[in-house]
Chain A
C-alpha cells in the first residue's frame, strides 16, 4: 500500500496530465460526424504508433553486442513505422476523396 502511495506521490504531475489528456481526448472527439469515423480511426491509429519512440530509445541504449535487444528493438521500430507511415498515408488517401471538386 505504501509503495502505491509513494508511486502516486512521485508521479503526481504525470497523473494530473493523464487525467487532463483523457478529458481532452473525449472533448476532441465527442462531436465528430459519422462521415469521418473511418478516417479518424485510421488517423488516431497512426498516432498510436508513437510507441515507436520507446523502441528507438531502447535500441539507442543497447550494447553493440546485445543482439536480442538490438533485434527485438529494431523489429519494434519496423512495426511501429509501418503503423505510423502506413496509417497516415492511408488516412490521407481516404481524405483526398472528401476534397471538394
Chain B
C-alpha cells in the first residue's frame, strides 16, 4: 500500500511546484504542465490503486473521463480570448458540481453511528460546492450578457437570512442524522438557491472579484471532500486553490480600494445616478487631428479596456503602435489591474496581439509616467479612468485607484457613443476640457488613425 501514498505525495508536490511556477512569467507554461502532470498522476492512482470494497466499474470511470476530456478540450480550443472569464467561470462551476454530486451521495450513507465531524465536513462540502456551482453559472450568465443585474433593497437581508437557514439546517441534520430522510436534499436545494441569490445582485464591475471568490470556494469544497475521504492530495490541492484564490480576491479588492464585504453586500451600480447633473459639453475631434497629434508627440499612452477587446481592435492597435514607434514616438500601454472582465485579462488580450509585455505598464508606474505623456488614447475603457474616483465623494467608485490620465497633456477617448461603462457609472472625464471624443468603432477608428499616420511623411 505504501507506494500509493508515495505516488499521492509526488502528485501533491507536483501541484505545489506547478502553482509556484504559474506565478512567474518565465516559468508559467512549465508550471501549468507540471500541475497537469500532478493531476494526471493523482487521477491515475485513484483509478488503479488497490482499494477496500473495490467493485471495479472501470468502464464507467473511463467513459466519464473520455466524455469530460472531449468537452473540456473542445471548449478550451473554441473559446475567444475575450470569452476566457466566462469559460473559467463555467469550468469552476463544474468543479463545484462535482463536489456536490459526491457529497450528496456520501450524505445518504450516514447513520446514527456516523461521526459528527465527518457529517459536518460532508455537509459543508455540499453547501460550499452548491454555492460555487450556481454562483458560477450566474457569473457566467452575467459576463456573457445573458443575465441582467438584479438587485433590491432587501436582497442582502434576504441572503443573510437564507445563509442562516442553510447553516441551521446543516447543524440540525448533523445533530439528528436520521430524523428526516429528505433533509440532505433540502440542504442541497437551499445551497443551490443561495448561490444564485448571492451572486445575482453583485454588479458587473465586481465580477472579477466574484469569480476569484467562487474559485476559492470550489477549492475549499474540494478540500472538505478530501477530508471526507481522508485523501491528502484532494485536501492539499483544494486548500492550495482555496488559499491562493483568497489572496487573489484580496489583491483585487485592494486594487479597487474596497473591502470584500463591500463587494458582496454593496456593489456598484446601486447609486450610479448620483452624479448625473452638470456634465458640460463634449468636444468631438477627427481622426486626422488625432493622428497629427500622435505623430508629433514624444510619448503616447494607450489605455485599453474591454471595449477594445470586443471591437477586436488589439491587432489594429499594435499596427498603429508599430507605425508610431518607427517614427520615433514612444508608445506604451497603461493597464489597470481590473481592466477587462477578469484581473489581468487585458494582458492576455494584448499578448494575443503580440504587444511586447515590457510595454504594458501597471497602475503605479503608469501614473508616474502620465505627467510626461503627450497623448492618452483611451480605447474602450470607462471606469478605470473615471476621475470621480479621485474627487467626487458621492461617486460609488470614490477611493478606487484609477489611471490619472488628466495629468497628461491631451486625452482622446475612442468610443462608439456616450453610453456608460459596464458598471453603469457616469464618467465626467468625457466632459472635461482636456478631453476630446473620437466616435466610432474602435477597430475602424484605429485603422484610420494608422493610415493617417502613414501618409504623413
Question: What residues of A have a CB within 8 angstroms of the CB of B226 in the complex?
Answer: 50-51, 53-54
Flag if B105 contacts A69 (CB, 8 Å).
yes
Cα–Cα, bound, A75→B229 (Å): 18
CB of B241 closer than 8 Å to a CB of A: yes
Question: What residues of B have a CB within 8 angstroms of the CB of A42 in the complex?
Answer: 84, 88, 91
Known: A45-B218, A58-B102, A74-B64. A39 touches B32 (CB 8 A): yes
Closest Cβ–Cβ distance, residue B142 to chain A (whole Å): 17
CB-CB contacts below 8 Å: A41-58 with B: 41-58
Question: What residues of A have a CB within 8 angstroms of the CB of B58 in the complex?
Answer: 60
Flag if A73 contacts B248 (CB, 8 Å).
no
Closest B residue by C-beta to A99:
B29
Question: What residues of A have a CB within 8 angstroms of the CB of B42 in the complex?
Answer: 50, 53
Cα–Cα, bound, A4→B119 (Å): 12
Question: What residues of B have a CB within 8 angstroms of the CB of A25 in the complex?
Answer: 19, 239-244, 246-247
Closest Cβ–Cβ distance, residue A37 to chain B (whole Å): 3
Flag if B22 contacts A43 (CB, 8 Å).
yes
Closest A residue by C-beta to B230:
A14
Known: A26-B244, A39-B348, A53-B229. A95 touches B32 (CB 8 A): yes
Choice from A60, A85, A96, A99 contacting B55 with Cβ under 8 Å: A60
Question: What residues of A have a CB within 8 angstroms of the CB of B65 in the complex?
Answer: 77-78, 81
Flag if B231 contacts A11 (CB, 8 Å).
no
CB of B68 closer than 8 Å to a CB of A: yes
CB of B36 closer than 8 Å to a CB of A: yes
Most buried by B among A33, A51, A74, A88: A51
Flag if B245 contacts A44 (CB, 8 Å).
yes
Known: A34-B337, A41-B215, A54-B102. A83 touches B95 (CB 8 A): yes
Cα–Cα, bound, A26→B249 (Å): 12
Flag if B51 contacts A7 (CB, 8 Å).
no
Flag if A98 contacts B43 (CB, 8 Å).
no
Cα–Cα, bound, A78→B344 (Å): 29
Flag if A48 contacts B218 (CB, 8 Å).
yes
Known: A18-B239, A38-B345. A80 touches B68 (CB 8 A): yes
Flag if B102 contacts A50 (CB, 8 Å).
no
Cα–Cα, bound, A66→B360 (Å): 56
Flag if A41 contacts B69 (CB, 8 Å).
no
Closest Cβ–Cβ distance, residue B92 to chain A (whole Å): 5
Question: What residues of B have a CB within 8 angstroms of the CB of A41 in the complex?
Answer: 88, 211-212, 215, 245, 248, 342-344
Flag if B77 contacts A93 (CB, 8 Å).
yes
Flag if A26 contacts B344 (CB, 8 Å).
no
Choice from B88, B116, B235, B335 contacting A17 with Cβ under 8 Å: B235
Known: A50-B234, A57-B51, A57-B231. A90 touches B343 (CB 8 A): no
Cα–Cα, bound, A89→B18 (Å): 14
CB-CB contacts below 8 Å: B52-73 with A: 52-58, 60-61, 63-65, 67-69, 71-73
Choice from A21, A44, A73 contacting B102 with Cβ under 8 Å: A73
CB-CB contacts below 8 Å: B158-213 with A: 211-212
Flag if B57 contacts A70 (CB, 8 Å).
yes
CB of B46 closer than 8 Å to a CB of A: yes
Cα–Cα, bound, A62→B247 (Å): 38
- Extra inter-chain contacts (20) besides given A86-B71, A89-B77, CB under 8 Å: A3-B117, A25-B246, A26-B246, A29-B23, A42-B91, A43-B31, A45-B215, A48-B241, A49-B39, A50-B42, A56-B61, A59-B60, A76-B98, A79-B98, A81-B67, A81-B71, A81-B72, A88-B35, A90-B87, A90-B88
Q: Which 4 A-B pairs have the closest CB atoms?
A: A81-B68, A25-B243, A86-B72, A37-B344
Chain A residues with a Cβ under 8 A of chain B: 3-4, 7, 10-11, 14, 17-18, 21-26, 28-64, 68-70, 72-99, 101
